[in-house]
Amino acid sequence: MATKKPLPVVLKVSVEQAERISQMPGLSALLGHAEAFGRYLVTDKGYSPKTRIDYLTDLRLFFAYLAEAGRDITFDDLTPDVARSWLAAGIKLSVATRNRRIATLRSWIRFLVKTGVLRADPLAGLESAKRPKRLPRPMAEDQIEALFKVPSKKTANGLRDRAILELLYGAGLRISEACSITSRDLQLTGSLGPEIRIRGKGSKDRVVPLTEHFLVALREYLAKRPSKDGGPLKPGDYIFLARGKNPVAPNSFRQALKRYLALAGLDYRLTPHKLRHSYASHLLANGADIRAIQELLGHADLSSTQIYTKVTNAALHDTVRNKHPRA
């Protein structure tokens, strides 16, 4: 009797699902390529660990669905209809989730073609759903001022959070980027002025100038910042630390932001990304060049940045509607 090949642990299927899949030779063969696919996402594609986890979670759900439905498919049976049946099963998916699951399957198939497992893409007819365009509405400047006054200046955590807020709005960083910066990323004495070097999405590097407001907040925080060994900040140390003296987690800051927003009388559902939107929108409204904003945000494609021109146009329409005597 042949020994059953263990499933890739990276997919984390349940014991019952693993047992069921192990009895399905076709499905087991498909699953056998999952672990190498996970490595490919990071080493070849340059995806972040979070994106890797998201993609592998989608694959786990896909195979769990097939196992529950008793569909022991092979590569020859893998068609757009099989994928559509999975996407249609269970709860109604948002357009964003549906499209990410389609992206997962497409990326997995491209990997199988690239490695010679498949000759052609069997999901070529699978199309993404069109997402409704939603313009990011920036925060008003007085709202930002009210928010920034909330974190306490008497505690290290309050000073830390105020500095992070200044960095998100003053440099347009993503919260994951802000939480992961180290002392090596800060260039405070450069010939052009203080700046920060960021490794963004897709391992794309960019340099962003720093504002004086952030530098003041940073100095105040560093004066009370805890350290792992009680000594001064060393090269390579994370800047923003949690209570356990590890780098503060993005989700931890998101929860703190909800409290600050509520205390400031603002919508507590706003996310750190709203400050990045506000950074870009306010720069553009004050005459900044769209391509300069593209570089500052780290967008690979100018079309990602051009949405902020629509925000500005929307503001112009609001001005005419609300201020013109004949509107």
- C-alpha closest to that of 138 among 163, 158, 168: 168
Q: CA 81 → CA 64, 65, 70, distances in Å? A: 17, 14, 16
Catalytic residues: 174, 201, 273, 276, 299, 308
Residues 277, 143: contact at Cβ < 8 Å?
no
Dihedral angle, C-alpha 39, 42, 44, 47, nearest 10 °: 140
Only one residue has tokens 């786990």, namely 60
Dihedral angle, C-alpha 305, 311, 312, 317, nearest 10 °: 150
Per-residue tokens: 15: 């014991």
- C-alpha closest to that of 251 among 47, 50, 95: 50
Q: Hey, which residues does 209 pair with through a beta bridge?
A: 195
Q: Rg of the chain over CA atoms, in angstroms?
A: 24
Task: Tell me the DSSP string of 261-273.
Answer: HHHTTS-TT--TH
Instruction: Give burial (CB, 10 Å; 0-12/13-18/19+) of 99.
Output: middle
Residues 297, 204: contact at Cβ < 8 Å?
no
